[in-house]
Amino acid sequence: MNKSVERWRESPILEYLAELHREIGAMQDGAVATYIPELAKADPNWFGICVVTANGGTYEVGDSRQTFTVQSISKPFVYGLALEDKGRADVMRKISVEPTGDAFNSISLDPTTGRPRNPMINAGAIAATSLIEGKTPQVQLQRMLLMFELYAGRKLAVDEAVYRSESETGHRNRAIGYMLRNFNVLTEDPMPVVERYFKQCSILVTCHDLAVMAATLANRGINPITGKQAIRGEYVESVLGVMGTCGMYNYAGEWFYDVGLPAKSGVSGGIIVVVPGQLGIGVFSPLLDPQGNSVRGIRVCDALSRHWDLHLFNRPGLGRSAIRTKATGVDFHSMRVRTPEESRVLSTCGSAIRLLQLQGNLTFAAAENVIREIMDGAEATEYLVLDFRRVLIISESASRLFHATLVKFAEANQDLVFCNLDHLPTLRRCMKAKFGSRFDEQFRVFADNDAALEWCENRLLAAHLPHAIGQERVSPADYEFFHGLTADEVQVLASQLTNRTWNAGEVIINIGDEANALFFLASGLVSVVLPVAAGQRKRLATFSAGMAFGEMAVIDHAPRSAMIVADTEVSCDELSVADFEALGTTHPPIKIKLLENIALGLSRKLRKANRQLSVVE
Amino acid sequence: MNKSVERWRESPILEYLAELHREIGAMQDGAVATYIPELAKADPNWFGICVVTANGGTYEVGDSRQTFTVQSISKPFVYGLALEDKGRADVMRKISVEPTGDAFNSISLDPTTGRPRNPMINAGAIAATSLIEGKTPQVQLQRMLLMFELYAGRKLAVDEAVYRSESETGHRNRAIGYMLRNFNVLTEDPMPVVERYFKQCSILVTCHDLAVMAATLANRGINPITGKQAIRGEYVESVLGVMGTCGMYNYAGEWFYDVGLPAKSGVSGGIIVVVPGQLGIGVFSPLLDPQGNSVRGIRVCDALSRHWDLHLFNRPGLGRSAIRTKATGVDFHSMRVRTPEESRVLSTCGSAIRLLQLQGNLTFAAAENVIREIMDGAEATEYLVLDFRRVLIISESASRLFHATLVKFAEANQDLVFCNLDHLPTLRRCMKAKFGSRFDEQFRVFADNDAALEWCENRLLAAHLPHAIGQERVSPADYEFFHGLTADEVQVLASQLTNRTWNAGEVIINIGDEANALFFLASGLVSVVLPVAAGQRKRLATFSAGMAFGEMAVIDHAPRSAMIVADTEVSCDELSVADFEALGTTHPPIKIKLLENIALGLSRKLRKANRQLSVVE
């Protein structure tokens, strides 16, 4: 066994990355960047790959913990901070978002406005750096560094040697700074901004950091390792937007065509790739192609995009319908055990109740599907239950569609109720925002479809039956387990009964209790419930007057296996197990009839449970 | 009721579009294109919006059936046909995919190779037109028209007046044609190609057509209305790729930043937008902005992207885990009713069996999650059941991950089995491609988790119990329902039994049969099954020798409600209902003991069913 366990320590995902690292590591094409002298010291053999998923799964091979300077990969992150600090409109006035097709160090200012074409070229990046808030340049730099630390999930530092090297040779960027000043894109002295930009490019990161940073963007701005927010979710799409069209210098079009993912590369040899909602990729290899992108890095990303189906435009269709099952109140009932009269009404009029069980990711198109189904049957529906138990996520737009539908139901005097929503706060928030103070009254939510169905059934029954439900009082002669007994036999048994009462909410039987009596319900309602996860209870059945409970434990002598709770004030007649057993010798005919009735009751419950099992599965 | 039904005819989605149409229709900015004289005749008030979902839901408002010429919106579709005809590599040699930031009619050839920068500018589009296969220009044109008809789902025609107008004034495009010839991008006479390009631009479409064409791309190339394939799925990502970076002229960057979706506009005022996997949008309003895009069209798309959360980079995180439930063989059993000895083994060693029920969309990142969970528990697992019942879709990459995992299990002598895969052909195809002729032997698939669990349990029991399962023969004294009877009483009952035998596969009891006997199983295995959807059967229980069945119908006198099928050769002792009933007067003590045992059996089954219900829900 040990050997097999050993094998199991290697995930097939890690194995694939190791194989890719071996294969692509053999390539020696490209050259280390030399335009900043300090960068030329990089070892051309360095090669690391790291993948971090949006919920923190981490896979890394090769030199994934080797530090290098972040360079241009800093640009989208600083742009994101500028968006947070100034808002989208103000930033857009300073920096456009059009791809240029030009090289990374081209000046690319709009000839009339001087606005840099996009924030991924140096001009746009320097403009973004200038937009970071802070009373002093020192504070601005500190805020920027803090932002990178939130993304990476660890303390970071500037490589002072690289910074000095950048500063000593960065005349082109100084020229860009003054051009921006000339057009009033920068309104302050451009030199401190350019120096801050050099420091920003000289922050030391690892390939693992890059993957965590990318995963943070993939996870709507929340670092999946630390759980901390690095950027507000609403700005993530803007950062990814410019990475998508402008992230790979003048290779951006081909990149998006082949790899189909927002990305950013840097001249020190790093590439980050973001797969929204799924994962982040960091690759590091300093050998660059003429456009300034890591040769091995591009190969790795291309392979991962293909092998893992990550291309954003390579998406399957809608898949299975958002509607898992449809049922009406004729074939799907609540666990409430109904009297024959009530059952008759439900089987005649139950089609006015509809249940739709939804599933999967309720994006706009999936919700549209549900709305179409609702409308197809709206004519005959008086009560509609939407069960969200198997819904994994719901979007804002889908939530708004359900709100609009609920309003239509209310206008038409039809009831639309919801259940199993605990895991979907988006829908509740949307309803609250729309309904305001009328929220509780308009938006009816039940814990599960059983409770929702019972509510609908009760409303339907109240409309069709003259007398109130569950209010009658039954005498022993009418107990269902007494069926077939003569008047004398009823008399004999009744004399052995003890009457007890409970208030609503009281526990009549607890799990594990010794089984010492059989209960006949004279008046009120009781429910059989099971505790399920996290303090919740699942109802197995509800009984009304005339019915019996507690017979299973009497038969098999096992401790009670479910709770019985009084739903209303309850009055019961108890028959002790000792008296029940003694009947076998004192009154065999009574015992036989009781046993037949008990077996009959059990077999009815079993049939119902089996039917329920075949529906839910 | 009628009034409410009336209201219900209007979907909230259509209402929203109508409101948007009213609001944006009030805008009068922009001007009708005049560079082709015939286009200047368009009514500036025309305004239509149409949305078609990837499964065919259609919503349209305004002038959605007004015809106009398709113009540049033809470009991505013809590019797609060129990819199908020549393959990606050959097309890439002729046409690059870099965005230019230049205006729509710029010549934009690479200065050294003459390769057009992308297929969305006229130069690239004319090059793409030249790549369409066909022996004669006429055939080439016909094939192109046929392709558009597959996308639109109806017959289409060229507007000859617009075509003549384009041809009479299209000197710039003729110049482009000769430039392409000069660089050998075109190797034939460029003039017929340019004429074909004019015809292509003059095809008459409606806003509804545009939405269907876009929905076809959203649905991986299959027209959601006709079900016909308009382009092979593998090329859809390439078409969407160039639309994403180059589809909106020199507004492409800002478009992708704001709207975040692949799109294409045309000078006649149309825009198509594709939301991969969800829907297609067509908008038509001839008032253009200076970049040549429909003013109202851009407003509509912007509003829809925001209101319906369609921005490709605005994606939620992973949502709920891909693992719905985890269980082991200790707390989750197959429906096979086990002997006390077998039950003891399963409760002692059952933790070697693990069941994972998966859910949602199994993309790469979701599958990674599953693999991590599998690995966490791999040490203690001998048998792993993966249940895909609630999985909606599975990607190729996720399928490959499960293949790699299966190989690892096999190497470690552990068993990994699959169930509920009928709706996921991708996984099966992937396994078949990987395993080849060893497919059936390596890839073990069961209809449901009950069958898979039974197989695992049987293997586990075979390893822990000396004797074979289900082979013994039991005499009446050991029948479970005879428990507590004296030897004399057994004798009395045994004399009333009739023995019958069945072959494996035979039906012993059918649904609806009259209940005229109680069965005691002397040898063999029988299963209680229910027919569920589409010829499938769901097993409720399996009984082995010594157990009884058919008691429920005997108790409640209802017709049989489930099938009983012989799994092996079966020998049963029957007790007729008449004999059973008569025992009440002839032998009350026997009747009481039988009834007690029947009630005991029913209560055990009910407890099991209730337990099962609380696990599955």
Three-class DSSP labels, A409-470: HHHCCCEEEEECCCCCHHHHHHHHHHHHHHHHHHCCEECCHHHHHHHHHHHHHHHHCCCCCC
Residue in the structure block whose two tokens are 């966490």: B376
**Would you call A8 and B408 a contact, using CB atoms and an 8 Å cutoff?**
yes
DSSP string of B113-164?
A: T--BS-TTSHHHHHHHHHTS--SSHHHHHHHHHHHHHHHHTS---B-HHHHH
Q: What is the pLDDT of residue A427?
A: 94
Q: Which of A75, A182, A175, A170 is nearest to A124 (CA)?
A: A75
Strand locations in B363-458 (E): 383-394, 415-419, 445-446
| Summary mean pLDDT of chain A | 88
Side chain identity at A188, as an amino acid letter? E
pLDDT of residue A196: 96
pLDDT band at residue A24 using 50, 70 and 90 as cut-offs: very high
**Residue A48 bridge partners (DSSP):** A62, A284
The Cα-based distances of B193 to A122, B170, B177, B186 in angstroms read: 41, 13, 8, 9
Active site residues of A: 72, 75, 197, 249, 267
CA dihedral B490, B493, B496, B499 (to 10 degrees): -60
Three-state SS for A376-414 is HCHHHCCEEEEEEEEEEEECHHHHHHHHHHHHHHHHCCC
pLDDT recorded at residue B309: 84
Pairing mode of beta strands B383-394, B353-362: parallel
CB atoms inside a 10 Å sphere around CB B87: 11
Q: Give the model's pLDDT for residue B207.
A: 97
| List of chain B residues whose C-beta atoms are within 8 Å of the C-beta of residue A314 | 236-237
| Mean pLDDT of the region A172-201 | 94
Closest Cβ opposite residue B12 in set A236, A252, A371: A371
CB–CB contact A607 B552 (8 Å): yes
Q: Please report residues of B whose CB lies closer than 8 A to that of A256.
A: 97, 241, 244-245
Q: What pLDDT was estimated at residue B286?
A: 97
Tokens coding B385: 């059941």
Which one of B485, B591, B610 makes the best mutation probe of the A interface by having the most chain A beta carbons within 10 Å? B610
What's the rounded Cα separation, in Å, for the pair B481 and B490? 11
Which residues pair with residue A498 across a beta bridge? A574
Nearest CB neighbour to A241, from listed B5, B257, B408: B257
The whole-angstrom separation of Cα A495 and Cα B615 is 42
Asked if the Cβ–Cβ distance from B316 to A604 is below 8 Å, we say no
Q: Which of B218, B313, B396 sits opposite A309 (nearest CB)?
A: B396
The CATH H-level superfamily of B323-464 is STAS domain (3.30.750.24)
Average pLDDT over every residue of A512-525:
90
Q: Give A533's pLDDT tier (boundaries 50, 70, 90).
A: low
Give per-residue pLDDT as tens, A340-389.
778 888 889 999 999 999 988 888 888 888 988 888 877 788 999 999 98
Q: Where are the domains of chain A?
A: 12-307, 323-464, 476-616
Could you tell me the fold of the domain covering B476-616?
Jelly Rolls (2.60.120)
Flag if B397 and A530 touch (Cβ within 8 Å): no
A369/B57 CB distance under 8 A: yes
Nearest residue in B to A251, CA atom: B98
Which of B8, B237, B369 faces A311 most closely, judged by CB atoms?
B237
Contacts of A400 in chain B (CB under 8 A): 307
Confidence of residue A462 (pLDDT cuts 50, 70, 90): confident
3-class state of residue B27 by DSSP: coil
Provide the 10 A C-beta neighbour count for residue B171.
9
At residue B177, the 3 state secondary structure works out as helix
- Structural contact between residues A246 and A121, judged by C-beta atoms closer than 8 angstroms: yes
| Residues of A with Cβ-Cβ distance to B11 under 8 angstroms | 371-372, 375
pLDDT in tens, B288-330: 998 889 999 999 999 999 888 888 887 665 556 788 888 898 8
pLDDT in tens, A193-231: 999 999 999 999 999 999 999 999 999 999 999 999 999
Mean pLDDT for back-to-back runs of 10 residues, chain B (617 residues) = 46 91 94 86 96 92 97 97 96 90 70 86 95 95 97 97 93 92 93 96 97 95 95 93 86 86 95 93 96 94 91 68 87 79 87 92 86 84 92 88 90 91 91 90 90 92 71 84 92 93 92 90 88 71 86 82 89 93 91 92 79 57
Residue B334 annotated as catalytic? no
pLDDT at residue A285, as a whole number: 97
Please tell me which of the candidates B3, B375, B390 has its beta carbon nearest to residue A390.
B390
Q: Which CATH superfamily is domain B12-307 in?
A: DD-peptidase/beta-lactamase superfamily (3.40.710.10)
> What value does the CA radius of gyration of chain B take, rounded to a whole number of Å?
35
Partnered with residue B518 across adjacent β-strands are B575
**Cα-Cα-Cα-Cα dihedral of B460, B463, B466, B468, to 10°?**
60
Residue A391's DSSP bridge partners are A360
Phi, psi of A18 (to 5 degrees): -65, -40
Q: Determine the pLDDT at residue A4.
A: 39
Over residues A308-329, mean pLDDT: 78
Distance of alpha carbon B247 from alpha carbon B271, whole angstroms: 10
**C-alpha to C-alpha distance for B258 and A97, rounded to whole angstroms:** 10
Q: Residue A110: which residues within 8 A CB-CB, separation 6 or more?
A: A96, A116, A117
Q: What is the DSSP letter of A293?
A: -
Of B32, B64, B72, B370, the catalytic one is B72
- Residue B222: closest CA among chain A residues belongs to which residue? A317
User: Would you call A555 and B600 a contact, using CB atoms and an 8 Å cutoff?
Assistant: yes
Look at residue A613 in the predicted model and tell me its pLDDT.
64
At residue A611, the pLDDT reads 66
Element at B281 (helix H, strand E): strand B279-284
Residues of B in contact with A262 (CB under 8 A): 313
ipTM: 0.76
Asked if A197 contacts A218 with a C-beta cutoff of 8 angstroms, the reply is no
Alpha carbon of residue A10 to chain centroid: 28
